[in-house]
């Protein structure tokens, strides 16, 4: 009995302190949970690349740390007269420059690295990229005399770096340029996968398959959000392998007795490699034309990304020493750009290459939307000379570097993201990509259609849109960056469409009387000799307006100029139904 009593006492004693400690321990558990809930959200802020093609740039911000993914440019639209290129507005980053830990680059295309020199002139940060991408960035920085000052860090595929509270993993990917990576961005609230530009190519030219295993591993661990390339999201099926283009080149090169000129994107290193392969197989020497193509091939060969015999390439000045059937010329100009090498060849204006009927010209690219008419004109001009032209409508000499719907589904299936953010595309492409995401089971409320400047805040379980930051387009015109805005563009459009009238008069500063003039000069409005009466009428209207100002004792130059503008605008429109820009110039003596 004693034993039983003792055991009962022991049990009772154990039970009592156990229950008290359970109560005591429950409090810190609750406090710990509250700390978790108060964790700062991750902010994702696109500054470019949404509702547009190009200018890709995305900001990731957590507490006092910022990392930036890509820093690209866009090419000007038709209405941007005189503009050379367009870059993102980085006002938000300039205000928060002390938080920035680094700039991370996915690959070496212009729409992902082109704005780096302009960015570095405002903000000095280290740049992390793979070897070929670093080589291409170095070329750009050397042109801008920034190479010595810049902290360029070379990383390898599969490597992970720590930038403040972020860990960035470089995951091997496939695209039309070697050394492309997806990014696994490990943050305190979860893992974000940013695909950059990609396609799923099971037979890549360099044999470097996308790291599907790592993507699946991250998916099994849990991916908070997937940010995925939307460029080809409207296209069903799969993008063809780059190798299929090599087979077409082989067929075109075999038994061809003509000189072969191939135009393609300078950045498409895999395409250049296949042209090299076909040239070597058919005992042809290769000459390179176009500054961007020369720079790209030199960099890729130095770093070992283009495999060719040592003496395969010759200088463009040496082509006269070879017969047509011994030559291949690789050139820029596949988009019909005005000053490109192929366009000048087609117009008979190139200093070193003259197109003849014994040339086979292969345009190995599809026209970018908006460039169709330029490409068509180049094809027409080449055919008028008598050259044989092969382009995308006649043969499969181009494949895209971007994923179609089935490839996009594969990436979603591997990563199994909680939230989905389509990026890199115009509105219709982002919509198509979000529809694909719904088909693979991502709930509609977990899909976020972002716009440039919009802030997305994410916690481990939630995501919400929360305000905006400054964003926009900075236009580069010659050496001027940002000094051409919408007002200047509007003036350029006005001048290009309606012309200009300048009215010059000299007035006495004391009395306000007209000492000489008015003289009228017009440009782009009417041909003066055939419209002398109209010019005389314009002078008469100016005199009448000056007299009205004198009668009303108006002596302020600005008021007189405004009145002159309005009177002339009304009169000229009434007579011609045109609306030229009118510039009154009043000199005082």
pLDDT mean across residues, the chain? 86
32 pLDDT band (50/70/90 cuts)? very low
Rounded CA-CA distance 66/209 in Å is 31
List pLDDT tens digits, range 142-178. Answer: 988 998 888 999 999 999 999 999 999 999 999 999 9
Neighbours of 312 (CB within 10 A): 16
Higher pLDDT, 42 or 514: 42
Rounded (10°) CA dihedral 331, 332, 337, 342: 0
Rounded (10°) CA dihedral 104, 107, 108, 112: -60
Neighbours of 273 (CB within 10 A): 20
- E strand or H helix at 297, and its extent? helix 291-302
Between 316-325, 343-352, 366-375, the lowest mean confidence (pLDDT) is in 366-375
- With contact defined as beta carbons under 8 Å apart, do 212 and 236 qualify? no
Catalytic residue (choose from 109, 194, 270, 402) = 402
Q: Is 447 a residue whose pLDDT tops 60?
A: yes
3 pLDDT band (50/70/90 cuts)? very low
What's the pLDDT at 503? 80
| Nearest residue to 78 via CA among 87, 89, 86, 88 | 86
What's the pLDDT at 188? 96
Rounded CA-CA distance 198/106 in Å is 10
Q: Is 4 a residue whose pLDDT tops 50?
A: no
Spell out the residues 6+ positions from residue 480 whose beta carbon is closer than 8 angstroms to its own: none
18 pLDDT band (50/70/90 cuts)? very low
Rounded CA-CA distance 240/250 in Å is 17
Q: Which residues of 99-115 are buried (b: 16+ CB within 10 A; e: fewer)?
A: bbbbbbbbbbbbbbbbb
SS3 98: helix
SS3 577: coil
Helix axes 212-221, 405-415, angle to 10 degrees: 50
Q: Average pLDDT for residues 90-111, to the nearest whole number?
A: 95
What's the pLDDT at 82? 67
Q: Is 79 a residue whose pLDDT tops 70?
A: no
Q: Average pLDDT for residues 251-271, to the nearest whole number?
A: 93
Q: Is 229 a catalytic residue?
A: yes
Q: Is 59 a residue whose pLDDT tops 90?
A: yes
Q: Average pLDDT for residues 72-87, to the nearest whole number?
A: 78
Catalytic residue (choose from 70, 197, 211, 229) = 229
Give, rounded to a whole angstrom, the gap between the first and last alpha carbons of the chain: 128
What's the pLDDT at 34? 43
491 pLDDT band (50/70/90 cuts)? low
Rounded CA-CA distance 149/442 in Å is 45
What's the pLDDT at 38? 63
What's the pLDDT at 75? 80
Higher pLDDT, 528 or 81: 81
Q: Average pLDDT for residues 45-72, to the nearest whole number?
A: 95
Phi, psi of 480 (to 5 degrees): -85, 130
Rounded CA-CA distance 413/2 in Å is 66
- With contact defined as beta carbons under 8 Å apart, do 254 and 246 qualify? no
Q: Is 12 a residue whose pLDDT tops 50?
A: no
Phi, psi of 465 (to 5 degrees): -80, 135
Q: Is 76 a residue whose pLDDT tops 80?
A: no
List pLDDT tens digits, range 115-140. Answer: 999 999 999 999 999 999 999 999 99
List pLDDT tens digits, range 351-410. Answer: 999 999 999 999 999 887 778 888 999 999 999 999 999 998 778 889 999 999 999 999
Q: Is 402 a catalytic residue?
A: yes
Ordered DSSP codes for 424-473: SB-HHHHHHHHHHHHHTT--GGGB----TTEEEEE-SS-EEEEEE----E
Q: Average pLDDT for residues 453-476, to the nearest whole number?
A: 92
């Amino acid at each position: 009995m004693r034993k039983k009593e003792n055991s009962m006492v022991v049990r009772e004693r154990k039970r009592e302190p156990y229950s008290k400690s359970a109560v005591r321990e429950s409090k810190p558990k609750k406090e710990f949970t509250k700390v978790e809930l108060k964790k700062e959200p991750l902010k994702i802020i696109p500054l470019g690349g949404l509702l547009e093609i190009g200018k890709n740039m995305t900001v990731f911000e957590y507490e006092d740390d910022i990392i930036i993914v890509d820093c690209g440019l866009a090419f000007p639209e038709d209405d941007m007269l005189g503009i050379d290129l367009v870059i993102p507005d980085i006002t938000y980053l300039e205000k928060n420059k002390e938080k920035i830990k680094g700039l991370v680059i996915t690959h070496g295309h212009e729409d992902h690295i082109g704005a780096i020199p302009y960015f570095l002139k405002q903000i000095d940060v280290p740049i992390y990229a793979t070897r070929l991408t670093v080589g291409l960035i170095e070329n750009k920085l050397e042109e801008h005399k920034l190479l010595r000052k810049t902290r360029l860090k070379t990383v390898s595929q599969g490597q992970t770096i720590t930038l403040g509270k972020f860990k960035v993993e470089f995951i091997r990917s496939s695209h039309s340029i070697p050394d492309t990576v997806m990014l696994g961005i490990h943050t305190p609230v979860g893992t974000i996968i940013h695909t950059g530009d990609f396609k799923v190519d099971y037979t890549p030219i360099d044999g470097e398959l996308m790291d599907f295993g790592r993507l699946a591993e991250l998916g099994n661990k849990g991916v908070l959000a997937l940010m995925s390339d939307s460029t080809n999201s409207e296209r069903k099926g799969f993008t063809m392998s780059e190798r299929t283009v090599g087979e077409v080149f082989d067929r075109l090169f075999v038994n061809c007795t003509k000189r072969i000129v191939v135009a393609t994107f300078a950045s498409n290193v895999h395409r250049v490699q296949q042209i090299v392969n076909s040239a070597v197989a058919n005992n042809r020497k290769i000459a390179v034309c176009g500054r961007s193509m020369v720079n790209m091939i030199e960099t890729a060969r130095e770093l070992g990304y283009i495999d060719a015999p040592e003496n395969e390439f010759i200088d463009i000045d040496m082509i006269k020493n070879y017969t047509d059937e011994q030559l291949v010329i690789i050139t820029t100009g596949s988009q019909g750009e005005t000053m490109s090498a192929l366009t000048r060849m087609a117009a008979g204006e190139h200093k070193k290459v003259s197109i003849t009927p014994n040339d086979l010209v292969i345009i190995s690219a599809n026209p970018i939307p908006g460039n169709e008419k330029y490409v068509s004109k180049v094809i027409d001009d080449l055919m008028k000379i008598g050259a044989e032209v092969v382009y995308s409508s006649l043969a499969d000499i181009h494949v895209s570097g971007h994923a179609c719907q089935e490839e996009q589904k594969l990436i979603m299936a591997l990563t199994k993201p909680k939230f989905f953010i389509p990026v890199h595309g115009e509105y219709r492409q982002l919509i198509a990509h979000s529809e694909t995401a719904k088909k693979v089971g991502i709930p509609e409320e977990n899909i976020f259609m972002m716009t440039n400047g919009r802030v997305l805040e994410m916690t481990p379980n939630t995501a919400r849109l929360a305000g905006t930051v400054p964003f926009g387009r900075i236009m580069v015109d010659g050496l001027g960056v940002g000094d051409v805005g919408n007002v200047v563009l509007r003036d350029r459009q006005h001048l290009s469409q309606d012309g200009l009238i300048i009215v010059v008069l000299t007035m006495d500063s004391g009395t306000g009387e007209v000492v000489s003039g008015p003289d009228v000069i017009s440009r782009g409005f009417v041909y003066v000799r055939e419209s002398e009466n109209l010019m005389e009428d314009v002078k008469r209207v100016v005199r009448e307006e000056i007299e009205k100002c004198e009668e009303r004792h108006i002596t302020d130059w600005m008021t007189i100029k405004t009145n002159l503008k309005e009177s002339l605008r009304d009169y000229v429109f009434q007579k011609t139904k045109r609306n030229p820009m009118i510039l009154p110039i009043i000199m005082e003596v």
